[in-house]
């Protein structure tokens, strides 16, 4: 006959084993993948991010504007563009900006299975490592699409998923003033701001950035990389 104390010990052991197993399964399925849209902060830090590049001309223009104010940003690069425009990609890394993974071919992730998504991440990672000599630790899914596969692959690849809290919609705004107004009317400390250095038409992002930066600095904001914002 099992004594009450022995039964209690066994129940405690089984409960602990279950909790450990549940924790392991949770990590494997990606449920614990960290996803960031903004950061709570007492400082005036914000993060400027640029998606879909590098671009053979627009990226260089954006880098020049950032250099004028000695600021660093985060560029979420598409692997195929890294390979097509390696000089532009290297210029981003050489200027000390942060580089994130934005998949290899910018496919809509909800249409992919886990293995296909993992390959998209890995191919982009390989391109960035080969050409920029750095291993990205941040991942931004195209269009901000999140599902269990995205979270699972993020955990396996040791990535932090970065979305945004302020979308400039520069990809659809051909008017510089619209982009500027969108940011200045809504920006707040801890924001992650979404912009693009590769747009299919004549982008107004560089012109908007040239207006935004001095005004943001005048208002006391401190643009930093995403990792600096998260650490701050």
Give the pTM.
Answer: 0.85
- Residue 101: is its pLDDT beyond 60? yes
Distances (CA, A) of 107 to 102, 112, 120, 124, 156: 10, 8, 8, 12, 20
Of 218, 226, 220, the closest CA to residue 195 belongs to 226
The pLDDT score that the predictor gives to residue 13 is: 55
The pLDDT score that the predictor gives to residue 213 is: 98
Q: What is the dihedral of CA 191, 72, 198, 181, to 10 degrees?
A: 40
CATH number attached to the domain at 33-231: 3.20.20.370
> Which range is least confidently modeled, 17-26, 134-143, 165-174?
17-26
Q: Is the dihedral of CA 60, 202, 212, 186 positive or negative?
A: negative
The pLDDT score that the predictor gives to residue 151 is: 82
Instruction: Give catalytic residues, as residue numbers.
Output: 51, 196
pLDDT, tens digit, for every residue of 45-83?
A: 999 999 999 999 999 999 999 999 999 999 999 999 999
């Amino acid at each position: 006959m099992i004594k009450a104390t022995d039964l209690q010990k066994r129940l405690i052991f089984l409960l602990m084993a279950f909790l450990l197993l549940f924790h392991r399964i949770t990590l494997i399925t990606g449920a614990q993948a960290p996803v960031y849209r903004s950061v709570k902060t007492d400082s005036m830090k914000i993060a400027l991010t640029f998606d879909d590049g590098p671009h053979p001309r627009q990226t260089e223009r954006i880098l020049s504007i950032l250099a004028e104010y000695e600021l660093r940003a985060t560029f979420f690069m598409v692997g195929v563009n890294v390979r097509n425009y390696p000089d532009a990609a290297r210029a981003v890394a050489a200027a000390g900006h942060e580089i994130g993974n934005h998949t290899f071919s910018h496919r809509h992730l909800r249409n992919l299975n886990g293995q296909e998504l993992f390959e998209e991440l890995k191919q982009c990672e390989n391109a960035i490592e080969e050409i920029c000599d750095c291993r990205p630790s941040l991942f931004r899914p195209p269009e901000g699409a999140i599902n269990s596969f995205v979270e699972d692959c993020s955990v396996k690849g040791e990535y932090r998923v970065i979305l945004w809290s302020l979308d400039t919609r520069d990809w659809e705004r051909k008017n510089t003033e619209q982009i500027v107004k969108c940011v200045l009317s809504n920006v707040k400390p801890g924001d992650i701001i979404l912009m693009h250095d590769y747009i299919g038409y004549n982008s107004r992002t560089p012109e908007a950035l040239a207006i935004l930066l001095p005004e943001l600095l005048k208002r006391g904001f401190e643009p930093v990389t995403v990792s600096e914002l998260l650490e701050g």
